Amino acid sequence: MSETPKEQNSIPTSKVQRSAKFVKTGLKIGGNYVKHYSKKLFNPDMDKTELDQDNAADIYQSLSELKGSALKVAQMLSMDKNLLPQAYVDKFSQSQYNAPPLSGPLIVQTFRKYFGKTPDQIYDKFNLRSTNAASIGQVHQAELNGKKLAVKIQYPGVGNSISSDLKLVKPFAFRLLGMNERELDIYMREVEDRLLEETDYELEVRRSIEFSTACAILNNVIFPSYYPELSSKRIITMDWLEGKHLREFLATNPSQELRNQIGQALWDFYNFQQHELRAVHADPHPGNFLITPEGKLGVIDFGCIKEMPEDFYTPFFSLTSTDLLSNKEETIKAFRMLDMIHANDSPAQIEFYYNAYKEMISLFAMPYINSTFDFGQTAFFDSLYQFGEKISKMPEFKQPRGVKHFIYVNRTNFGLYNILHELKAEVRTDTYKPHVVLEY
């Protein structure tokens, strides 16, 4: 069992305070490197495992105290398993479940600011101790008129510090990811756009109502009702859903039938949105879902939505879901549309990127090829991670390739694949099919 994190009584909110925290963390990491290389003098065969563990612990502690976009980036990186050493994945994945919660006085202060009232004056009951604390906000249980409610409260200063935080995170990300400057800028800009939306809780309430209404037709997927009159720019009130997070659910040793049922609900939830709504819940980490006692998938967070424009959606999903890849000329046209092959590439470069991306998309598309797919098998995931490892070491991939939409769409689909793998679910993959064309 992980220990309960201690409550935080304050969050650094000014740029000066937050910068100071990063500088302090940078000094600690410098110290870790000195310690590592001193030990290496006496033990030349020593690897970087201990260094990675020390750095991951220091960075995570700093980010978890700062909260907000800095911690969110850590959470995202922990899901992109082939980008980071394992020590970082293990440490950063804590932010999906148990960042340190805020203390009671800070919660009351937030309510006074946005409602002019304390929580006790709004709800019949309100538990000041949070049930779940993550990167951008934490959740409290409340009651009103006999109805059990979940109240999500955003950490102070999170929305105002996104741009400056991402500038501070950049040197860490630069070192960890090995991206070049331009590629990192594209990555950070797209992350910043989504985070600005994610910290606007009024937008989240509107989207939550819109998406849960559209997805109401899906089997075994349920959503809480939302209460705009009890919500504000930094507070959301919704129904309390009873259920277990993925780890707790798997610990009950559920039957294969139940795993498949939850897996099917997840597959349908994501593919219905991608192919029918052209916009998708782009934060597929396990903390955003509950498995209810009735064996249904409860979706409890719509903060991060990625819209897919036509000029991205059609070429990408046509490549994954038809035999278009067998037509080299049309595939290269699609790769050009997606900026995976550039106008000034030499014939040798075109051939190299055509082959590399064809291999990548063939792997990604495997679940779409047959009408059912067993996500419990390890061979598929070994192939994905090995391919990720291989291209991360290739100098040809140090320059940016691909339109910015890949950042969240890849993250969404690989996040979905990983949850289905943890469930060891076998699902029907032909329930919501992509809308495709065969030539350009």
Write the pLDDT tens digit of every residue in 105-114.
888 988 999 9
Residues 45, 103: Cα–Cα separation, whole Å: 46
What is the rounded average pLDDT of the residues 303-309?
89
Give the tens place of pLDDT for each residue, 409-434: 888 898 899 899 999 999 999 999 88
Out of 89-93, 125-129, 163-167, 423-427, which region has the weakest mean confidence (pLDDT)?
A: 89-93
- Would you state the pLDDT for residue 192? 80
Q: What is the SS3 string spanning the chain?
A: CCCCCCCECCCCCCHHHHHHHHHHHHHHHHHHHHHHHHHHHHCCCCCCHHHHHHHHHHHHHHHHHHCHHHHHHHHHHHHCCCCCCHHHHHHHHHHHCECCCECHHHHHHHHHHHHCCCHHHHCCEECCCCCEECCCEEEEEEEECCEEEEEEEECCCCHHHHHHHHHHHHHHHHHHHCCCHHHHHHHHHHHHHHHHHHCCHHHHHHHHHHHHHHHHHCCCEECCCECHHHCCCCEEEEECCCCECHHHHHHCCCCHHHHHHHHHHHHHHHHHHHHHHCEEECCCCHHHEEECCCCCEEECCCCCEEECCHHHHHHHHHHHHCCHHHCHHHHHHHHHHCCCCCCCCCHHHHHHHHHHHHHHHHHHCHHHHCCEEECCCHHHHHHHHHHHHHHHCCHHHCCCCCCCHHHHHHHHHHHHHHHHHHHCCEEECCCCCCCCCCCC
What is the rounded average pLDDT of the residues 308-336?
89
Put residue 60 in one of left, alpha, beta given phi > 0 → left and psi -120 to 50 → alpha.
Answer: alpha
Provide, rounded to the nearest whole percent, the portion of the chain with pLDDT above 70. Answer: 71
103-154+200-240: in CATH 3.30.200: yes
Domain spans, the chain: 15-97+163-178, 103-154+200-240, 241-440
pLDDT band at 91 (very low <50, low <70, confident <90, very high): very low
Amino acid at 55: N
- Would you state the pLDDT for residue 3? 44
pLDDT band at 151 (very low <50, low <70, confident <90, very high): very high
Give the tens place of pLDDT for each residue, 61-77: 655 555 545 555 555 55
Judged against a pLDDT cut of 70, whether residue 300 lies above it is answered with yes
Residues 186, 176: Cα–Cα separation, whole Å: 16
Q: Which of 2-11, 17-26, 92-101, 224-233 has the highest mean pLDDT?
A: 224-233
Judged against a pLDDT cut of 60, whether residue 377 lies above it is answered with yes
Out of 180-194, 365-379, 404-418, which region has the weakest mean confidence (pLDDT)?
A: 180-194
- Is residue 309 within 8 Å of 317, Cβ to Cβ? no
pLDDT band at 314 (very low <50, low <70, confident <90, very high): very high
Residues 17, 27: Cα–Cα separation, whole Å: 16
Residues 6+ apart with CB under 8 A from 88: 52, 55, 56, 59, 77, 78, 176
Q: Is the pTM of this model over 0.85?
A: no
pLDDT band at 232 (very low <50, low <70, confident <90, very high): very high
Q: Could you tell me which of 272, 335, 277, 336 has the C-alpha nearest to residue 306?
A: 277
pLDDT band at 436 (very low <50, low <70, confident <90, very high): confident
Residues 269, 389: Cα–Cα separation, whole Å: 30
- Would you state the pLDDT for residue 410? 84
- Would you state the pLDDT for residue 20? 55
Mean of all residue pLDDT scores within the chain: 80
Residues 17, 11: Cα–Cα separation, whole Å: 9
pLDDT band at 159 (very low <50, low <70, confident <90, very high): confident
pLDDT band at 370 (very low <50, low <70, confident <90, very high): confident
What is the rounded average pLDDT of the residues 317-345?
89
Q: How many CB atoms lie within 10 A of CB 358?
A: 17
Q: Could you tell me which of 92, 169, 167, 171 has the C-alpha nearest to residue 134?
A: 92
